[in-house]
Amino acid sequence: MTSAAGLETLIKAQAYGLGFDLAGITHLAPAESTRAFRDWLARGYAGEMSYLLRTADKRTDARLPVPAARSAVVVAMDYGGREPTGPVARYARGDDYHDVMLDRLHALHGWIESHLRRDVLGRAYVDTGPLLERDLARRAGLGWFGKNTNLIHPRLGSFFFLGTLLVDLELMPDEPFESEHCGSCTRCLDACPTGAFVDERVLDATQCISYLTIELRGAIPLELRARMGDLLYGCDICQDVCPWNVKFARTLREPAYRPRAAVAAKDARTLARDLLEMSEDDFGKSFKGSPMKRAKLRGLKRNAAVVLGNVGTHADHEILARALDDPEPLLREHAAWALARIRG
């Protein structure tokens, strides 16, 4: 029979074998970042992400989502911080990481049951469940909270996804990551084009380009449009400038995250024009299984109009003028803004 300590080692080894780049274990308990999270919500920094407020009680106590669970296996998967910058954030260029990681966490769960030769109650989460996964990851020894709010690992940087498998097993926890290694560096805070960082480790999401291009459903505030530059979906700037990524970011190794044809090697202007001309059917085919579907085509066309307003030329007049007749008011408004910018 496997000893408790031996089981933890085997679980983490299996996680690495499934393609995860980091793995750690922690007990379930109230989140240490509860006060900061609730204060963040109270200040309105979550914007339209009302689901965070609705699930706040569960998120701040990891014992609540699966009451019978006792331990969390927390994993990380790198998505290639060495890939070139572009109009789409690196994480969203390939297949949806939720699907990729959930499949492997389910496989890990299955392996645990097979190894123990019994059913093990468990549930996997990747970004969409009521958990503060970053908090669990720090307690599982996977890194510290950077000043840009990302979890940073001292040998991997921050270009990775987090996932969690909650299980009803009393597993020996790893040592939490107690120290932080940002020092006096403020490169991430200084580089943000929209000034979204209210303070160190405090992000006003409503000012963040990732929020504006993905989560926001309505019009992008006028004062922020020009600052978006050529960024069409998401933003990597605060990670790009981080010294830990400059030194330790990896090349892309996971085939599932390789850029799909619809975005691969396209500059911002080309991709923006493609999206403005795209039908719902073409969008469904080109972005099936992509994280970019979260913004829906209307949101991507809105973003595309802003990008052309920032980097377009007089050659883009015609495509933007056609957008003025689109049945979608959101697109018409942003296309008019873009035309005014180009003519200005």
In sequence order, which residues have a C-beta less than 8 Å from that of residue 154 and are 6 or more positions away? 143, 181, 244, 248
In this structure, is residue 251 part of a structural domain? no
* CA distances to 104, 161, 296 from 275, in Å: 32, 27, 11
Q: How many CA atoms lie within 13 A of 12 on its CB side?
A: 21
Q: Are residues 294 and 154 located together in one domain of the fold?
A: no
- pLDDT of amino acid 128: 87
In this structure, is residue 244 part of a structural domain? no
Q: Are residues 301 and 204 located together in one domain of the fold?
A: yes
Q: Are residues 150 and 286 located together in one domain of the fold?
A: no
Q: Are residues 162 and 211 located together in one domain of the fold?
A: no
In this structure, is residue 285 part of a structural domain? yes
Q: Are residues 91 and 205 located together in one domain of the fold?
A: no
Of 132, 152, 167, the position where a domain reaches its end is 167
What is the distance between the alpha carbons of residues 311 and 307, in angstroms, rounded to a whole number? 6
Q: What's the pLDDT tens digit per position in 43-62?
A: 999 999 999 999 999 999 99
Q: What's the pLDDT tens digit per position in 149-193?
A: 999 999 999 999 999 999 999 999 999 999 999 999 999 999 999
User: Which amino acid is present at 158?
Assistant: S
In this structure, is residue 183 part of a structural domain? no
Range of the domain at 145: 4-167
- pLDDT of amino acid 5: 52
In this structure, is residue 178 part of a structural domain? no
Tally of domains in the chain: 2
Q: Are residues 281 and 330 located together in one domain of the fold?
A: yes
Q: pLDDT below 50 — which residues of the chain?
A: 1-4
Q: Are residues 273 and 128 located together in one domain of the fold?
A: no
- pLDDT of amino acid 335: 98
Q: Are residues 82 and 207 located together in one domain of the fold?
A: no
In this structure, is residue 337 part of a structural domain? yes
In this structure, is residue 184 part of a structural domain? no
Please identify every residue annotated as catalytic: 127
Q: Are residues 154 and 199 located together in one domain of the fold?
A: no
- State both tokens at 298: 């209307």
- pLDDT of amino acid 344: 83
Q: Are residues 156 and 202 located together in one domain of the fold?
A: no
In this structure, is residue 219 part of a structural domain? yes
Q: Are residues 28 and 80 located together in one domain of the fold?
A: yes
What is the distance between the alpha carbons of residues 151 and 225, in angstroms, rounded to a whole number? 28
DSSP code for 174: P
CB atoms closer than 10 angstroms to residue 63: 15
pTM, full prediction: 0.96
The C-alpha torsion from 23 through 144 and 171 to 11, rounded to 10°, is: 0
Label each residue of 129-164 as H, E or C: CCCCHHHHHHHCCCCEECCCCCEEECCCECCEEEEE
Rounded to the nearest angstrom, the gap between the alpha carbon of residue 278 and the centroid of all alpha carbons in its chain is 25
Q: Please give the full DSSP string across 106-137, using - where no structure is assigned.
A: HHHHHHHHHHHTS---EEEESSSSSS-HHHHH
* CA distances to 15, 35, 160, 250, 291 from 20, in Å: 6, 31, 10, 14, 19
Q: Are residues 109 and 161 located together in one domain of the fold?
A: yes
